[in-house]
Amino acid sequence: MSSITTKLIIGATGVLLFAYLILHVIGNALIFFGPDLFNSYAHMLLSNPLVVPIEIGLVVVFLIHLVKAITMTFQNQAARPAKYAKKVAAGGTSQKSLASSTMILSGLALLIFIPIHVKMFKYGPEYPYGASDVRDLYRLEVENFTSPLVVGLYAMVMVVVGMHLWHGVASSFQSLGISGPRFTPLIRKVGKVSAIGIAGGFIVIAVWVFLFGARS
């Protein structure tokens, strides 16, 4: 497979994962409106027959993104066996950043985080919400975010998510060949704003739940 095809695959799966994160953070933000709304939204998702195929699809997309990125990283390293004694960022129009230089590391950090995260929430304790068959995910979230250590670690991981998106969003579109004199500067801004929005959103929600969640 050519490196162009590889990049198309990483870009396409990257865009899908980005879209998923947008929906995820919006869904989480419903927690501000209290347990009724939050739990009924979660119930709507969980009771939808499409949820299982979508979840499987998400895992497949994630794994493809991951496997392609890892194999490409090894190939890229092989393309420069001898390192420079001194190498610095060129500056100017370059998009190189701490985020772009650590994409594989931020990605691998999320590979460790995601199973823990899914275990804590999706496969966490099943509390009933009142007498109904609705699952009380609000309570679960409050319980999960009672420890300052958990909130702190979670916030750190969300910074990693933000870093991955900082470079990844605009990079995905470039990898798909979507580029233009108006589009490219725009998507670079959109990528950075959404990196801050998504990572910041998850952090604010977690901190809010930690501080005020148990009260409502």
Partner 1 sequence: MPAKTITVNLKVWRQPAKDQPGRMVDYVAKDISTDMSFLEMLDVVNEDLIRKGEDAIAFDSDCREGICGACGCVINGIPHGPDAGATTCQLHMRRFTDGQTITVEPWRAKSFPVLKDLTVDRSAFDRIIASGGYISAGIGGAQDANSILIPRSIAEEAMDSAACIGCGACVAACKNAAAHLFTGAKITHLALLPQGAPERALRVVRMVGQMEAEGFGACSNEGECEAVCPKLIPISNIAKLVREYTRAWWRGTT
Rounded Cα distance between 171 and 194, Å, is 13
| Interacting span for partner 1 (CB under 8 A) from 6-14, 33-41, 111-119, 146-154 | 6-14
- Per CB under 8 A, 194 contacts partner 1: no
| Interacting span for partner 1 (CB under 8 A) from 74-82, 136-144, 147-155, 201-209 | 74-82
Please identify which residue in the block is written with the tokens 């990572």: 199
Neighbours of 141 (CB within 10 A): 21
CB of 105 to partner 1, least distance (A): 13
- Per CB under 8 A, 80 contacts partner 1: yes
| Interacting span for partner 1 (CB under 8 A) from 25-33, 59-67, 82-90, 112-120 | 82-90
Which positions from 83 to 112 touch partner 1 by CB under 8 A, shown as an x/- string? xxxxxxxxxxxxxx---xx-x---------
Nearer to partner 1, 168 or 201 (CB): 168
Positions 174 through 193 that interact with partner 1 (CB under 8 A): 174-181, 184
Q: 102, 202, 208, 98: which is closest to 158 by C-alpha? A: 202
Please identify which residue in the block is written with the tokens 């390293």: 77
Q: How far is CA 110 from the centre of its chain?
A: 8
Q: Where are the alpha helices (DSSP H) in the chain?
A: 3-29, 35-46, 51-78, 98-101, 103-120, 137-144, 148-175, 183-212
Among 2, 50, 52, 53, binds partner 1 (CB under 8 A): 2
- Per CB under 8 A, 3 contacts partner 1: yes
Structure tokens at 33: 């409106």
Nearer to partner 1, 1 or 52 (CB): 1
Among 50, 82, 131, 149, binds partner 1 (CB under 8 A): 82
Contact present, 121 and 138 (Cβ < 8 Å): no
In angstroms, how far is the first alpha carbon of the chain from the final one? 54
Residues contributing to the site for partner 1 (CB under 8 A)? 2-8, 72, 75-76, 78-96, 100-101, 103, 167, 170-171, 174-181, 184
